[in-house]
């Protein structure tokens, strides 16, 4: 603490340090594997885009665009250019759509399935599970198809991922005839114990340009009649965005909101049909869901299907994933007509929070627990150092994790360090070892010590690492 004002991370951003960063890599790796089995390929996107892209797609009246984006003028750009205003991406669906159009992906065979992994930026007040730089794992399907089976498969993939990564995710088997018969045979239905607090899937349909406007008008009228029972935020939204009133959390507004007209009662025939069939498709896949007519996503581009997954252990911000269908977005951004889209975004920070919330105090803890060292090389004098360097290179080439101190340490000190770093073996390289050509290998948890030549030593350490 020498400096008067040491540098600190900017508000709302944070470092993810080694033991935890391994979990992040694991989670992201599972996503890659699961998504690949569903035919998705990774798209790597720019961190910033034209501000206009987000204004058009997410919606210029949304909170995200109107007050949460990190926007700046690109210094080198032409004053007249539309590209002058740049924003750090607050979400990635807009970028995926831009890339889809830019690269003519509508000519690709079949549906275009893409996933992305990376940071997003929103200038909000930080709180538990919410950061100004946060991370998302997202997936999008773009193409001609808008069949509910596709929506259901995207949700299935999401839940398979959650389960693989270790969240308690209720996910039954696919309901074939044979599966139904088996189910009926077993007398006791195996309901999940309530204390497990599994993730919950909420679904809704928010209609399409054919039916939503008239519903919004009805809702607005209904809201006007109860205006005096609403708080200032909700009163303001009666004009700006009546749908947003629905997901208010104010206790004082809950009773009134329950009396409002519900969009699911005002869908057009096509949207109604789509929503009903979505539910059938979810049931077919053994996916439990909860209808939530108040689930209104905050982005303008959504149509029909919207969904959200909440997980335990997260505080007030308990949504780990949000998603939905956005059938008009590609065209809105100047792309080809009739390209439909559906996708989701998982909040990685929140996912990790929920995983860490599960009690899991097994095994060694601390720095030593994660990346376990296979060997700590102990050399006694500068004459033995070259032999240690050579051995380190050989062991590492074999894939072992090796620590080689580069300053002379007393033996006592070296073994103590090896122990603290959680090494499995200490290899002693001193005068005796050089003279005999045999290294001394000490197994640190048992204290057993043996002597062996280089080839045997490597085999020995390899073998122990395989279990």
Partner RNA sequence: GUGAGCGUAGCUCAGCGGUAGAGCAUCGGACUGUGGCUCCGAGGGUCGAGGGUUCGAAUCCCUUCGCUCACCCCA
Among 176, 410, 453, 459, which residue sits at the site for RNA (rule: CB under 7 A)? 410
Residue 287 or 415 having the CB closest to RNA: 415
Among 7, 109, 412, 466, which residue sits at the site for RNA (rule: CB under 7 A)? 412
The Cα-based distances of 358 to 38, 190, 262, 312, 362 in angstroms read: 28, 22, 36, 9, 12
Dihedral sign computed on CA atoms, order 345, 348, 354, 355: positive
Q: Kindly determine how many residues on this chain lie close enough to bind RNA according to the rule CB under 7 A.
A: 67
Does 244 bind RNA (CB under 7 A)? Our answer is yes
Residue 63 or 74 having the CB closest to RNA: 63
Does 326 bind RNA (CB under 7 A)? Our answer is no
User: What minimum distance in Å lies between the beta carbon of 96 and RNA?
Assistant: 13
Half-sphere exposure of 388 (CA within 13 A, CB side): 26
Among 445, 450, 453, 459, which residue sits at the site for RNA (rule: CB under 7 A)? 445
Among 257, 292, 433, 461, which residue sits at the site for RNA (rule: CB under 7 A)? 433
Does 430 bind RNA (CB under 7 A)? Our answer is yes
CA distance 423 to 346: 36
227 phi and psi angles, rounded to 5 deg: -50, -40
Pairing of strands 402-403, 375-379: parallel
Does 17 bind RNA (CB under 7 A)? Our answer is no
User: What minimum distance in Å lies between the beta carbon of 187 and RNA?
Assistant: 39
The Cα-based distances of 153 to 140, 142, 171, 273, 284 in angstroms read: 12, 14, 13, 18, 10
Burial (CB count within 10 angstroms: exposed 0-12, middle 13-18, buried 19+), residue 220: middle
The Cα-based distances of 186 to 179, 180, 283 in angstroms read: 11, 10, 19
CA distance 439 to 451: 5
Stretch that binds RNA, among 34-42, 178-186, 267-275, 438-446 (CB under 7 A): 438-446
Residues 350 to 409: which contact RNA by CB under 7 A?
Answer: 350, 380
Instruction: Find out whether 94 and 139 touch, Cβ atoms under 8 Å.
Output: no
Torsion angle, alpha carbons of 160, 166, 169, 175, to 10: 40
Residue 28 or 283 having the CB closest to RNA: 28
**End-to-end CA gap in the chain:** 44
x/- track of binding to RNA for residues 305-324 (CB under 7 A): ---x------xxxxxxxx--
Among 420, 437, 453, 459, which residue sits at the site for RNA (rule: CB under 7 A)? 420
CA distance 339 to 324: 15
User: What minimum distance in Å lies between the beta carbon of 136 and RNA?
Assistant: 6
Residue 222 or 319 having the CB closest to RNA: 319
Stretch that binds RNA, among 42-50, 162-170, 295-303, 354-362 (CB under 7 A): 295-303
Among residues 146, 165, 177, the alpha carbon closest in space to that of 29 is found at: 165
CA distance 45 to 31: 17
Question: Rounded to 5 degrees, what angle do the CA atoms 10, 13, 17 make?
Answer: 115
Residue 338 or 445 having the CB closest to RNA: 445
Residue ranges of alpha helices (H) inside 296-407 are 329-332, 348-357, 385-397
x/- track of binding to RNA for residues 34-73 (CB under 7 A): ----------------------------xxx---------
Does 325 bind RNA (CB under 7 A)? Our answer is no
- Tell the residue number behind the tokens 């949304």, with chain if given: 62
CA distance 320 to 346: 6
Does 304 bind RNA (CB under 7 A)? Our answer is no
Stretch that binds RNA, among 43-51, 189-197, 220-228, 427-435 (CB under 7 A): 427-435
User: What minimum distance in Å lies between the beta carbon of 248 and RNA?
Assistant: 5
Residues 96 to 155: which contact RNA by CB under 7 A?
Answer: 122, 124-131, 134, 136
Stretch that binds RNA, among 81-89, 141-149, 247-255, 264-272 (CB under 7 A): 247-255
Among 173, 411, 453, 459, which residue sits at the site for RNA (rule: CB under 7 A)? 411
Residue 250 or 453 having the CB closest to RNA: 250
CA distance 225 to 123: 35
Instruction: Find out whether 205 and 274 touch, Cβ atoms under 8 Å.
Output: yes
User: What minimum distance in Å lies between the beta carbon of 61 and RNA?
Assistant: 10
Residue 103 or 236 having the CB closest to RNA: 236
Among 208, 282, 444, 461, which residue sits at the site for RNA (rule: CB under 7 A)? 444
Residues that bind RNA (CB under 7 A): 1, 4, 8, 11, 14, 62-64, 91, 122, 124-131, 134, 136, 233, 237, 244, 247-250, 296-299, 308, 315-322, 345-347, 349-350, 380, 410-413, 415-416, 418-420, 428, 430-433, 440, 442, 444-447, 449
């Amino acid at each position: 603490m020498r400096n008067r004002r040491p540098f600190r991370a900017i508000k709302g951003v944070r470092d993810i340090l080694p033991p935890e960063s391994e979990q992040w890599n694991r989670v992201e790796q599972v996503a890659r594997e699961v998504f690949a089995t569903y035919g998705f390929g990774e798209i790597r996107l720019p961190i910033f885009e034209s501000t206009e892209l987000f204004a058009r797609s997410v919606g210029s009246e949304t909170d995200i665009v109107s007050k949460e984006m990190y926007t700046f003028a690109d210094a080198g750009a032409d004053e007249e250019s539309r590209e002058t205003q740049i924003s750090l991406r607050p979400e990635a669906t807009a970028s995926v759509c831009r890339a889809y159009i830019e690269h003519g992906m509508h000519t690709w065979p079949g549906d275009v399935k893409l996933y992305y992994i990376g940071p997003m930026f929103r200038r909000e007040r930080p709180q538990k599970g919410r950061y100004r730089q946060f991370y998302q794992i997202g997936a999008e399907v773009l193409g001609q198809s808008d069949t509910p089976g596709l929506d259901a498969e995207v949700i299935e993939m999401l839940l398979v991922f959650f389960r693989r990564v270790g969240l308690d995710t209720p996910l039954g088997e696919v309901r074939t005839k044979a599966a139904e018969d088996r189910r009926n045979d077993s007398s006791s239905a195996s309901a999940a114990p309530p204390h497990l607090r599994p993730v919950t899937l909420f679904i809704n349909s928010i209609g399409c340009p054919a039916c939503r406007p008239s519903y919004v008008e009805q809702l607005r009228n209904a809201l006007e009649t109860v205006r005096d029972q609403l708080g200032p935020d909700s009163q303001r939204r009666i004009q700006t965005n009546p749908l947003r009133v629905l997901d208010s959390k104010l206790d004082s507004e809950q009773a009134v909101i329950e009396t409002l007209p519900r969009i699911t009662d005002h869908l057009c025939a096509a949207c109604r049909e789509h929503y009903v069939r979505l539910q059938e498709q979810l049931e077919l896949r053994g996916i439990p869901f909860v209808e939530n007519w108040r689930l209104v996503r905050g982005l303008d581009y959504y149509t029909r299907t919207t969904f959200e997954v909440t997980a335990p252990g997260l505080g007030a911000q308990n949504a780990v994933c949000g998603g939905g269908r956005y059938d008009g977005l590609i065209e809105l951004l100047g792309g080809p007509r009739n390209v439909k889209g559906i996708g989701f975004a998982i909040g990685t920070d929140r996912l990790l929070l929920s995983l860490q919330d599960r009690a899991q105090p097994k095994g060694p803890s601390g720095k030593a627990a994660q990346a376990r060292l296979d060997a700590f090389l102990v050399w006694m004098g500068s004459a033995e150092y070259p032999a240690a360097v050579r051995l380190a290179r050989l062991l590492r080439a074999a894939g072992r994790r090796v620590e080689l101190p580069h300053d002379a340490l007393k033996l006592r000190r070296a073994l103590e360090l090896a122990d603290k770093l959680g090494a499995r073996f200490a290899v002693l390289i001193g005068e005796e070892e050089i003279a005999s050509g045999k290294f001394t290998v000490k197994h640190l948890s048992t204290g057993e010590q043996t002597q062996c030549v280089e080839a045997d030593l490597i085999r020995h350490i390899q073998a122990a690492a395989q279990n």
